[in-house]
Amino acid sequence: TKKVTALELQKMKKRGEKITFLTSYDYTMAKIVDNAGIDAILVGDTASNVMAGNDTTLPITLDNMIYHAKSVVNAVENAMVVSDIPFGSYQGDPLQALHAAVRIMKESGANAVKVEGGEEIKESIQKILTAGIPVVGHLGLTPQSIFKFGTFSVQAKKEEEAKLLLKNAKLLEELGCFAVVLEAIPADLAKEVSEALTIPTIGIGAGPDTDGQVLVIHDMLGMTPNFKPKYLRKYAEVGQIMDNAIKNYISDVKEKAFPSYDESY
């Protein structure tokens, strides 16, 4: 295998091969994810939730994102690494957006950046693209706007909102984004958008007809027991495995069963 590129993802869409994304935020996890053969790793701003315990993605800083992205890049050999640009670092000011994207690329070694929104951040996307930095779009439930939505539930159920989302998806493609994440939208809308675009769509809670899928790694591994949206499939119960191991360790130490003399110098 070799390094996955934006061009390769577009070829995968063309030949009908589904694209796999998972998030990672640290070296050890990213090493496991990359070795397993994932196409791309998203260093999501969900690091704010999963790594730092915040309720939303809003508090995470650009410096925090660079730290996580660098940790992932240090581990990865084959997967494409995409880093989110955090809230407040690109909206409304194209030059600030460019500087944030340049810092991520330069200081972390990521291969691309992701931003949330369509028309309203058009100038920022254009500016980032002028520096030759590949950009992934993100439409539907865009968590940086959670206080506008007021809920983490499915978006674009109404005809008008669906039309606007399709329009924004086409705009992102025209601007030059190489992929777009579709989060928490009806499956039939995601299908329509995926068929209307030549760039790949990467779905989360967007049904089976997007060109690829993404999940938060801790969610799909079963490490976030209180998070159970309809779209989530748990591929393991790693949290339970850890709980069991930690309890065994505690009882072994308490009962003087660990360490043995064989495990001593």
- Binding residues for Mg(2+) are 45, 84, 116
Asked if 22 touches ligand KIV (CB under 6 A), the answer is no
Q: Which is nearer to ligand KIV, 183 or 211 (CB)?
A: 183
Contact 80, 73 (CB under 8 A): no
Q: Going by C-beta distance under 8 Å and a sequence separation of 6 or more, which residues neighbour residue 232?
A: 215, 219, 220
Q: How many CB atoms lie within 10 A of CB 161?
A: 14
Report the half-sphere exposure of 178 (CA within 13 A, side-chain side).
Answer: 20
Site for ligand KIV in 68-127 (CB under 6 A): 84
Across the strands, what pairs with 213? 20, 203
Among 105, 204, 220, 223, binds ligand KIV (CB under 6 A): 204
Contact segment (CB under 6 A) with ligand KIV among 41-49, 63-71, 222-230, 237-245 equals: 41-49
123 as an active site residue: the answer is: no
Asked if 45 touches ligand KIV (CB under 6 A), the answer is yes
Contact segment (CB under 6 A) with ligand KIV among 25-33, 39-47, 225-233, 240-248 equals: 39-47
CB of 214 to ligand KIV, least distance (A): 5
Annotation: binding site: 45-46, 84, 114, 116
Structure tokens at 172: 């992102």
The catalytic position among 183, 192, 255, 263 is 183
Site for ligand KIV in 182-201 (CB under 6 A): 183
Annotation: binding site for 3-methyl-2-oxobutanoate: 45-46, 84, 114
Catalytic residue annotation: 183
* Interacting residues toward ligand KIV by CB under 6 A: 23, 42, 44-46, 84, 181, 183, 204, 214, 216
